[in-house]
Amino acid sequence: MAKNCSSPILTGGSSNNHSENVLSTSLSRDVNTTVNGGGLQEDTMTMPSSSSSYISNDGDTSIIIISNLSKNSPKIFHVDLLYKSLVFLQGLSSATPIYIAIDGLVEPTDTYWAGKHHFPPNNIENRMKLDSYIRNLRLHFINETRVRILPFLHWQMHNNLINKALEFVQTKYVYILQHDEVFIRPINHTAMVQALEKHTSQIRKIEFGRLPNKSCWDHFWFRGQCSCNVTIVDSTAFTKTSGWSDQCHFTTKEYYLEVLKYIGTGEGKKMHPEAPMNRLAHRSCDIWGSHLYGDVNDTFSIIHSDERLQKHNKNSLNYTDIIEKAHQEHLSAQQYI
């Protein structure tokens, strides 16, 4: 069902074969694959009640983590913390395949990306760091059967990186996650699947906001004629926006192939999908406007795991400790399954 907010609103209109290789007490193993070519209130921070909220029979979802060389490389802090925060995805199978797609380095002569946008240039120092970063990830996930490391030899940019990672995805649903964004509150994965199933043409992409959901009407990126209609599925709310962002999101493989067809891929087409898609969403928000997870009054669902994390930390909460605690509780509960 749907309910209206106080702001003006216009509404509009495969099976997974990885599970047989998964160890029942672990989360995944690396496959060495190389490919060419508003503050959070403390009382809202509830942990998953038990591991059963995390384990389900859902076998139709995959996860793509977009990664690249960062100033913290070759340390793998970002990916490790994101991985541990996946325990907040309640109803997601512990056998869900994870593809960590690692982009290559930009040629130093590319003044637009390497210069203006500060993407790491291809030099000896960065090649050594990237090599160590990939090695560290492989060693870290060596006993994890569902994780596949996908390092790309040449620089792809987000649209091409996602496009090539999707070639490995054999499931209907997919999370597209940024390696430096982590979940910090419980997310009802089962309700999101039901939302996409029951509202096929209305709810097509669910984003996890870095800002409180009121951004649907007060942020230039999301506000517009389709904001802020709220749909309830399985007691879980989803807030409509008139925008489209690269922040962590959940959708279908079919939907993302539509996106990539629209924005284009290939050597001559390198971009963040959110720029052209946000313009399209504002023109056709009933079709392309994303939904935010939660009610219009809900807080943010993810935060950056770098130094920007502190900018969100208005309640002096240690999000790293919160994630670590939830992860350890999940692992402890698994011992009794």
Outline where DSSP puts E strands in 179-290: 181-183, 187-188, 206-207, 230-233, 236-240, 249-252
**Alpha-carbon gap, residue 97 to 134, rounded angstroms:** 18
- Burial pattern 97-130, b for ≥16 Cβ within 10 A else e, equals bbbbbbbbbbeeebeebbeeeebbbbeeebeebb
Query: What digits encode the pLDDT tens for the residues 24-65?
Result: 222 333 334 444 443 333 333 344 443 333 334 457 999 999
Q: Is the pLDDT of residue 17 over 70?
A: no
**What residues contact residue 275 under an 8 Å CB cut-off, 6+ apart?**
none
Q: Which of 337, 310, 328, 319 is nearest to 84 (CA)?
A: 328
* 232 bridge partner residues: 237
What is the residue whose two structure tokens read 């749909």?
231
Nearby residues of 116 by Cβ (< 8 Å), 6 or more positions away? none
* Residue 223 banded pLDDT, cuts 50, 70, 90: very high
Query: Is the C-alpha dihedral spanning 87, 211, 258, 204 positive or negative?
Result: positive
Give me the residues paired with residue 238 across strands.
231, 293
pLDDT of residue 96: 96
Other Cβ atoms closer than 10 A to 167: 10
Q: Give yes or no for a contact between 145 and 94, defined as CB atoms under 8 angstroms apart.
A: no
Contact partners, residue 145, CB within 8 Å, separation at least 6: 21, 22, 23, 26, 28, 29
What sign has the CA pseudo-torsion 52, 53, 54, 58? positive
Report the predicted TM-score, pTM, of the whole model to 2 decimal places.
Answer: 0.82
Cα-Cα end-to-end distance for the chain: 36
The one-character DSSP state at 186 is -
pLDDT, average across residues 309-328: 71
Name 293's bridge partners. Answer: 238
Per-residue pLDDT tens digits for 232-281: 998 999 999 999 999 999 999 999 999 999 999 998 899 999 999 999 99
How far, CA to CA in Å, does 331 sit from each of 26, 54, 242, 323?
9, 11, 39, 12
Of the pLDDT bands very low, low, confident and very high (cuts 50, 70, 90), residue 117 is confident
Q: Calculate ∠ Cα 99-335-147, nearest 5°.
A: 10
Q: How many CB atoms lie within 10 A of CB 88?
A: 27
